[in-house]
Structure 1
């Protein structure tokens, strides 16, 4: 081992090694010029964080558009914009186990608070529907103007509740109290998706213009002869 070390030392004396480069100027230039590159890294980081945030949001808070299938998922609603809706046939049946109730009675059987829009006042009729095994209802409906105007509130922000089929344009993103909402400006077919995930086609009917939004973990749909601005104002007046 001592002989090998001695030979290596002798060999080193024959090697010509270049002078160490002066990297000071190069480092200073690198620090002075890559502002754009650092910003690019920040942009990629922001994009990655945004993608992660969307992935972590529950379906009720994130809107997911699928350009291939034409499905738009928002706040417990599945909107199918891929094809024109067929004309509903027959008389639509009520929602599962639907029955009338007073406001006070309905509130006792719901897991979320009933909020009445100040713009409309007290409802003319109240309906509850789709109870679970413990007797808690999933949907409450407030009816106005002889039933021509209705406000559905449902505990369904994590699962699809209503299935809509809309042909062509007509779905518009709007805001209710600074949060996202969906405005559907014309008639469309509406079917109910129950708490088991089954689409109940027998409940399909031709729905009028509709505003869909979510507030405090409860999803709402306001349907009737209202303009977009009237619907937004009514939604914002929930008390």
Structure 2
């Protein structure tokens, strides 16, 4: 024992130190007491607010679906990103029970308005497909420029209608009349999902660049060899 330690030991009887506080009882009482309401609710409100923000914003909805299912879902279209170039059928079959009608006849066969885009020239053909037991068709397609440009219209609020397989970068968020829309870049694989949920593999085909947007519960899918800015302009001028 060195001199310093010996001196400190000799000094200890002369020092007054406070009694050790009784902490056990305090800790037990703190645990048993209910936490303030603001402290309890913050643990529940934080995740709820995050989910609400994600659900209210269309990109948030898509991002959430992408994180959960590996598929970006937007307005009745499921878009999966795959490596390399997705395979496509060379000669796709038409959609189920597809018919070619006049615009007026086609409008009577669907439960949503058929709106014609300006600036694409004359309408070549109108196709309707996949009727239910009342004869109401699920999809209508307006064909322009000898088939080079197509505008699909359908109710996309509930079930997926189309599956897309794209390669990176694949998709881009844009706006049509201030609302969110999806721009699918370049050629990609497109497959139809019928009203029973069956994926119609035989309909798979190579689709051109596509703009997808939604208005009043109706989904529009404009496909063709169009620059992005031109496609957005066409989408903003339906009549």
TM-score range relative to shorter protein: 0.7 to 0.9
Q: Which residue does the alignment assign to 1:143?
A: 143
What count of residue pairs does the alignment treat as equivalent? 198
Residue deviations 1:46-104 (CA, integer Å, cap 9, x gap): 8733523655x699994244247531000000000143343213410000011100011
The gaps in structure 2 that reach 5 residues or longer are 1-37
1:176-191 aligned within 5 A: 176-191=176-191
Q: When the two structures are superposed, what TM-score results if normalisation uses the length of structure 2?
A: 0.75
Residues 180-227 of structure 1: CA distance to partner in whole angstroms, max 9, x if unpaired? Answer: 100012100000011111111110000000001101110011000100
Distance in 1, Cα, partners of 2:122 & 2:116? 7
Task: Report the CA distance shift for 1:230/1:58 in structure 2 as closer, same or farther (over 3 A).
Answer: closer
1:51 has 2:65 as partner: no
CA contact (8 A) 2:89 2:206 kept: no
- Residue 73 of structure 1: aligned partner: 73
Distance 1:157 1:208 in 2: 24
Q: Deviations over 1:141-184 (max 9, x none)?
A: 00000011000001232110000001221310000001110001
Give the corresponding residue for 2:15: none
Flag the structure with higher helix content.
2
In 2, the alpha carbon distance for the partners of 1:51 and 1:146 equals 45
With the length of structure 1 as denominator, give the TM-score of the two structures: 0.75
- After TM superposition, list the pairs within 5 Å mapping 1:137-176 onto structure 2: 137-176=137-176
